[in-house]
Structure 1
């Protein structure tokens, strides 16, 4: 089993948690104000029972999703030894950081 698959299996099973260096992307990233909880449960309020904008909810969820992709890629860079998967991880980090910046700019323009 290759290293990435081992990491993914361990991550999904809860054997690996996002701690230490792996959380650097999440720790360094401050969620935009528009993404902070609008419900008591801590979840982003969704249409149908609340006043949350589905576009804002989507962008906030995507920011969190991209931050998780960065954290997983950082795990590959830390533990992986395959040059091809390490290269993929580096590309993911660069791309997702840029996309998070773009979505944050969109939020600043559209969130009320």
Structure 2
């Protein structure tokens, strides 16, 4: 069973949540963080938003939710590489390995959350 209140569906947030907070409507970087935009920017910002919002009733559940967001960010960044023009076979192999391993870890963390409600 999926977590009902997680802000992640392909690492994007519901419209109501994405229009508030530090990132603002245009998903710009917070003041003082003028970072160059890259192919990874959307995945990185989504991961950071999701991690910041991943809280729960106790430290263990909060940790699990933050790790899920972190792993989903790694998956999203790896997908960016695989969908790019990258030709290095080792980099592509590592990106796929990250997707495979972190997908399993997300499932394990979600299962733990289901077995440990509050």
User: Gaps (5+ residues) in structure 1?
Assistant: 1-11, 20-25, 36-41, 47-51
Helix, strand or coil at the partner of 1:14 = coil
Q: Distance in 1 between matches of 2:95 and 2:36?
A: 21
Alpha-carbon distance in structure 1 between the residues aligned to 2:108 and 2:75:
16
CA contact (8 A) 1:70 1:93 kept: yes
DSSP 3-state at the match of 1:13: coil
For the 8 Å contact 2:55–2:65, the answer to whether it is kept is no
Q: Which has the higher helix share?
A: 1
Aligned positions, number: 77
Please provide the CA RMSD for this pair.
2.7
Cα drift, residue 84 of structure 1? 0.3
The corresponding residue for 2:80 is 75
Gaps in structure 2 of 5+ consecutive residues = 1-34
